[in-house]
Structure 1
């Protein structure tokens, strides 16, 4: 569990996250105005209230809007060093946590799927369950479980749009339309796809930065 506290005069706000995964859903608790203000800032920056605790704490320390209205954040509960280490070792995480960190699933969706998977746990692996139920594209599961195959196909050299298309995250038509908008208005292709609702901002960031290293492992560290 993580608890961060922000104070300003007589006002106090806490951000609380429960769980053990690298990314946690955080709840903002406090006066309505301050809660809405913080939630808007966090969602504008990260696209979600589910994120790595270290990443969130660093944001609270450095964001100029937070600094203007609040004193420096206090760590009330939790181990930020462990959270930071967890965000770096993507390879060691479970498939479910990888899907969340890659922005393929929201944490709430993962919890629901794990509950649905429970009756089949003795006979199926979680990845097989996801394939059979068409919850995640087979290509996406293959990448997260066996990145070496994609390294052989030049994954690191491909652009974001090519990666997402190959992984079944977007369609060729969606990519074509996004590229047309990019030519007309500029901007990053990941931001355009996210704004259109085709992918999450987390997925755009992840697949822009993820690499397959020489050991055949996905390397990704959330920027802080």
Structure 2
């Protein structure tokens, strides 16, 4: 069994899970408003409340919004050293980290957006903030937050250029320009789009390799 405690001057929450497997379903216990806030934050950032205990505890100790609302998390019960470790998948990254790995934001842009977001953290999720402020193409946010929807639309079968146009990363005209260049000099479309300055090489790699798996999650290993 694992029990983690988050405390502030006003409230105390506990995250509880039974079992010793690599992934455990955690339940948040405490006042309704704070429980809903933390559950939504964890699900948006890590994709689920079924998590590796060590991974969850690390998130609670490092997430800026958790740190802004609570003191450092405590292990009330359970041995984190004995918790089975699992390789951190793309799906379990925070939304900001996903956007960075996809080449949509660089680290400096992400850090500035997190600073800008802080005054709204109690009323908006980070994804809502980005959507309302048009900082990221809405299609990109939809893909990262609800990849199963794109699986239904045949995401895995689409070519790189089609994916990039659909995500709002490039225009159809920019794709045509890259395809014309490919016909004249050869090369990969993603590399040519980056060479033309339309996308970053990171974005080209992400959309070349990312797949939606049978669980409706994104499979991707950053290089």
Q: TM-score range by the shorter chain?
A: 0.5 to 0.7
Which residue of structure 2 aligns with residue 147 of structure 1?
Answer: 147
Deviant stretches of 4+, over 4 Å: none
Helix, strand or coil at the partner of 1:85:
coil
Q: Which aligned pairs between 1:85-104 and structure 2 lie closer than 5 A?
A: 85-86=87-88, 89-104=89-104
Task: Report how far residue 196 of structure 1 moved.
Answer: 1.1
Q: Distance in 1 between matches of 2:110 and 2:97?
A: 8
Task: Report how far residue 85 of structure 1 moved.
Answer: 3.1
Q: Distance in 1 between matches of 2:134 and 2:196?
A: 23
**1:195 counterpart = 2:195:** yes
Helix, strand or coil at the partner of 2:129:
helix
Task: Report how far residue 197 of structure 1 moved.
Answer: 1.1
Task: Report how far residue 131 of structure 1 moved.
Answer: 0.9
Which residue of structure 2 aligns with residue 213 of structure 1?
Answer: 213
Larger RCO: Structure 1 or Structure 2 (Cα < 8 Å, ≥ 6 residues apart)? 1
Helix, strand or coil at the partner of 2:92:
coil
- Gaps in structure 1 of 5+ consecutive residues: 1-83
Q: Distance in 2 between matches of 1:214 and 1:145?
A: 16
Q: How many residues align?
A: 138
User: What whole-Å deviation, never above 9, does each CA across 1:31-87 have from its counterpart, x for those lacking one?
Assistant: xxxxxxxxxxxxxxxxxxxxxxxxxxxxxxxxxxxxxxxxxxxxxxxxxxxxx933x
Which residue of structure 1 aligns with residue 109 of structure 2?
Answer: 109
**TM-score normalised by the chain length of structure 1:** 0.60
Which residue of structure 1 aligns with residue 56 of structure 2?
Answer: none
Task: Report how far residue 208 of structure 1 moved.
Answer: 0.2
Which residue of structure 2 aligns with residue 29 of structure 1?
Answer: none
User: What whole-Å deviation, never above 9, does each CA across 1:129-177 have from its counterpart, x for those lacking one?
Assistant: 1111111000000000000010000000000000000000001111111
Q: Distance in 2 between matches of 1:97 and 1:221?
A: 13
Q: Distance in 2 between matches of 1:85 and 1:204?
A: 24
Task: Report how far residue 180 of structure 1 moved.
Answer: 0.6
Task: Report how far residue 222 of structure 1 moved.
Answer: 2.5
Which residue of structure 2 aligns with residue 132 of structure 1?
Answer: 132
Q: Distance in 1 between matches of 2:118 and 2:188?
A: 40
Helix, strand or coil at the partner of 2:97:
helix
Q: Which aligned pairs between 1:1-224 and structure 2 lie closer than 5 A?
A: 85-86=87-88, 89-223=89-223
Helix, strand or coil at the partner of 1:183:
helix
Helix, strand or coil at the partner of 1:91:
helix
Which residue of structure 2 aligns with residue 77 of structure 1?
Answer: none
- Gaps in structure 2 of 5+ consecutive residues: 1-85
User: What whole-Å deviation, never above 9, does each CA across 1:189-219 have from its counterpart, x for those lacking one?
Assistant: 0001111111110110111000000000000
